[in-house]
Amino acid sequence: MPWDCKELVVMRTQRSNWLTPTNSRLCLASTLILCAILSYANPMRASETNSAAAKAINAFGIDLLRKTGKPNANVLISPYSIQSAMAMAYAGADGVTRDEMARVLHYPKDEGELDRSFAELRRMLEREAKESAARSEARKKYGDTNDPVTLSIANRLFGQSGYDFRAPFLALLKDSYDAPFEPMDFIGGASAATGRINGWVENQTHGHIRGIIPDGVLNSLTRLVLVNAVYLKAPWGEKFSVSLTKSGAFHLTEGKGVKVPMMNRTDDFPYAKGKGFSMVKLPYSGYKLWFLIILPDKLDGLAEAEPKLSPMAIAEANWQMHEVTLQMPRLRLEPEPLALSQTLQALGMKTAFDKPPGSANFDRMAPRRPNDYLLLSEVFHKTFLKLDEEGTEAAAATAMVAMAMGIHEEPKRVEMKVDHPFLFAIQHAGTGTLLFLGRVADPR
């Protein structure tokens, strides 16, 4: 059962300072296009995942994880980033295209609920980052150098100058998604437009995501590029000691072992058991973000455990505080950029990409005429993640191109040896939204 606030105060008194943010010196830096997290003091109740944005981000993220990459390969996606871009495109969709997008993306029937929910989630994340900065600044008076959580979220529309975009569509994206419109000249300068958009993404992600749009993709038929970018920097709640990092074996899916640097730490963490897997949540500074590890019991159990992953399986697990002896590898994931159009079509979102020809309907975005209408041509997604003793650095970007035509008990002791393929996520405390979601088959 989750703890209430009174029980939390007792826990802070009885245990060592595991909840004291001032102990933190770790630095998490991440650049994403979409993101979210889980809570610490009060393990998230299922009702807290009821926001339309959180439910859509999480459900679609898990769908996409299962469709992305080979079963035995590393995967890293940012469900929040992808969904932020998708939600902006959905605001301009109509007819069958809108129905298909709603079904695939897990959107509610209430047209206003989704926009309100995404707006509130963005404001919540930004508000928590500001509060973290204020706390960090206040602590400097007492000689505390704890780094704050830094989080910035940016949306933007790069649209063809003079094209007949509908004013209500532009106003909705500006008001609900804080996505200003920047006029571009795709018709006369597609190469220059590519450079401008890529430069904007690189700047928003602090240089981690470069070349989100490949050369030659934009052309004289391009009318709109919707982009979402997020930058996150946060320290661990308490860092790993570098002196405890030792070379250890990580067992790959094929059964052979490889030597990798394994970090070690023993501390009190929320821990839960599922059918065939264990889960542990490692807090970042401020306890508004988690790094969630989902470790199969068997060395070769990833394929069996992954289908059991769901938002409710995480939220409704029997989370309890345990003294966990944790061993986990340093990570550096930089997968190849993803072009998601084929995957989205396979999930059932066909008419948005004008399949069959003439079926794309984005009439709410711009007037749809028989020989002049908008369609999605591609959705690009690029990510990066680095995890070590100092924290986590992660980045992601999503660009969408539209063309014309518990009760407290004394913690139990457990050992969690992350020495074989596993799943992970970075989540938001208040909503459970998935910021990052991935699979590690080989940490090298």
Whether 80 and 60 share a structural domain: yes
Whether 165 and 219 share a structural domain: yes
Q: Read off the amino acid at residue 325.
A: T
Whether 416 and 374 share a structural domain: no
The residue segments making up the domain with residue 53 are 46-234+333-403
Whether 115 and 259 share a structural domain: no
In a domain, 417, yes or no: yes
Instruction: Report the pLDDT averaged over residues 156-181.
Output: 95
- The answer to whether residues 303 and 363 touch, using CB atoms and an 8 Å cutoff, is no
Digit-coded pLDDT (tens) for 29-45? 333 332 222 223 333 34
- Please list, in sequence order, all residues whose beta carbon lies within 8 angstroms of the beta carbon of residue 112, skipping any fewer than 6 positions away: none
Whether 375 and 425 share a structural domain: no
Whether 168 and 56 share a structural domain: yes
In a domain, 33, yes or no: no
Whether 61 and 75 share a structural domain: yes
In a domain, 13, yes or no: no
Instruction: Report the pLDDT averaged over residues 129-151.
Output: 78
Q: How far apart are the first and last CA of the chain?
A: 38
**Count: domains in the chain:** 2
Digit-coded pLDDT (tens) for 169-228? 999 999 999 999 999 999 999 999 999 999 999 999 989 999 999 999 999 999 999 999
CA 106 to CA 109: how far, in whole Å?
10
Please give the structure tokens belonging to residue 7.
Answer: 């029980």
In a domain, 429, yes or no: yes
In a domain, 138, yes or no: yes
Shortest CA distance to 321 belongs to which of 8, 46, 6, 47?
A: 8
Residue 118 has pLDDT above 60, yes or no: yes
Instruction: Report the pLDDT averaged over residues 13-37.
Output: 31
Pairing verdict, β 277-283 and 289-296: antiparallel
**Alpha-carbon torsion angle 348, 352, 355, 361, nearest 10:** 130
* Predicted local distance difference test score (pLDDT) of residue 393: 79
Residue 62 has pLDDT above 60, yes or no: yes
Residue 22 has pLDDT above 80, yes or no: no
Q: State the DSSP string of 228-285.
A: EEEEEE--BSSPPPGGG-EEEEEE-TTS-EEEEEEEEEEEEEEEEEETTEEEEEEEBT
For residue 29, the cross-strand partners are 233, 393
> What is the overall mean pLDDT for the chain?
83
Q: Which of 7-16, 205-214, 420-429 has the lowest mean pLDDT?
A: 7-16
Whether 312 and 291 share a structural domain: yes
Q: Which of 79-83, 103-107, 319-323 has the lowest mean pLDDT?
A: 319-323
CA 265 to CA 189: how far, in whole Å?
54
- Please list, in sequence order, all residues whose beta carbon lies within 8 angstroms of the beta carbon of residue 302, skipping any fewer than 6 positions away: 71, 253, 296, 420, 421, 422, 423, 439, 441
Whether 303 and 340 share a structural domain: no
CATH of residue 144: 3.30.497.10
Band (130; pLDDT cuts 50, 70, 90): confident
* Predicted local distance difference test score (pLDDT) of residue 253: 76
Residue 347 has pLDDT above 60, yes or no: yes
In a domain, 357, yes or no: yes
Q: Read off the amino acid at residue 199.
A: G
Shortest CA distance to 383 belongs to which of 31, 28, 27?
A: 31
Residue 267, exposed/middle/buried by CB under 10 A (0-12, 13-18, 19+)? Answer: middle
Digit-coded pLDDT (tens) for 226-268? 999 988 887 888 889 999 999 999 998 777 889 999 999 999 9
Higher-confidence position of 381 and 109 = 381
Pairing verdict, β 338-339 and 289-296: unpaired
Instruction: Report the pLDDT averaged over residues 384-391.
Output: 86
Whether 339 and 367 share a structural domain: yes
Please give the structure tokens belonging to residue 338.
Answer: 């993803």
In a domain, 89, yes or no: yes
Whether 136 and 181 share a structural domain: yes
Classified as helix, coil or strand, 440 is strand
In a domain, 376, yes or no: yes
Q: Cα–Cα distances in Å, from 338 out to 368, 383, 400? A: 29, 9, 12
Whether 429 and 359 share a structural domain: no
